């Protein structure tokens, strides 16, 4: 009987090691992720696009520059979050943390107005804000002439 019990423990031990090693292989794959905008080691192009930038005057007579920005769909992970936080800055202004909520159409778009400072090139810089450790990852810039 003791042989049978020892053999059973041995088989269970081997099976446990086999199952755990299969689980750890998944962790190895996590280290090579670099295809979506939330990957810290992201290797792709800019994850957002500056759809348009233009000058306009508000009803109160203030001159503004409007940026219309969208997040590129194929830079997102398979499971889309309901909201994406980004750090936004333009023209040397202090960075702002902004929300890009998921619209009913399944896209992330945002309209951002900044003070107009005259004709010329306007650039925006955006990075993904990681709330868990208050860091910014994957910063990119885009520019338009107004």
Q: What is the dihedral of CA 120, 140, 84, 113, to 10 degrees?
A: -10
* Residues linked to residue 90 through DSSP beta bridges, in sequence order: 124
* The pLDDT of residue 50 is above 80: yes
Report the C-alpha gap between 5 and 104 in whole angstroms. Answer: 60
Are 97 and 85 in contact, with CB atoms under 8 Å apart? Answer: yes
* Residues linked to residue 123 through DSSP beta bridges, in sequence order: 143
pLDDT digits (tens, 9 = 90+) for 79-133: 889 999 999 999 878 999 999 999 988 899 999 999 999 999 999 999 999 999 9
Report the C-alpha gap between 106 and 104 in whole angstroms. Answer: 5
What pTM was estimated for this model as a whole?
Answer: 0.74
Report the C-alpha gap between 108 and 26 in whole angstroms. Answer: 30
Among the listed residues 59, 60, 46, 50, the one whose alpha carbon sits nearest the alpha carbon of residue 112: 50
């Amino acid at each position: 009987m003791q042989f049978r019990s020892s053999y059973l423990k041995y088989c269970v031990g081997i099976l446990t090691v086999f199952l755990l090693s299969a689980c750890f292989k998944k962790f190895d794959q996590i280290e090579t992720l670099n295809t979506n905008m939330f990957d810290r080691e992201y290797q792709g192009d800019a994850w957002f696009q500056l759809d348009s930038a233009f000058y306009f005057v508000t009803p109160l007579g203030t001159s503004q520059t409007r940026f219309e920005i969208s997040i590129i769909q194929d830079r997102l992970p398979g499971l889309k979050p309901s909201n994406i936080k980004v750090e936004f800055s333009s023209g040397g202004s202090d960075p702002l943390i902004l929300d890009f909520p998921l619209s009913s159409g399944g896209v992330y778009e945002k309209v951002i107005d900044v003070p107009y400072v005259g004709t010329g090139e306007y650039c925006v810089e955006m990075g993904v804000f990681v709330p868990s450790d208050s860091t910014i990852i994957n910063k990119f810039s885009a520019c338009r002439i107004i």
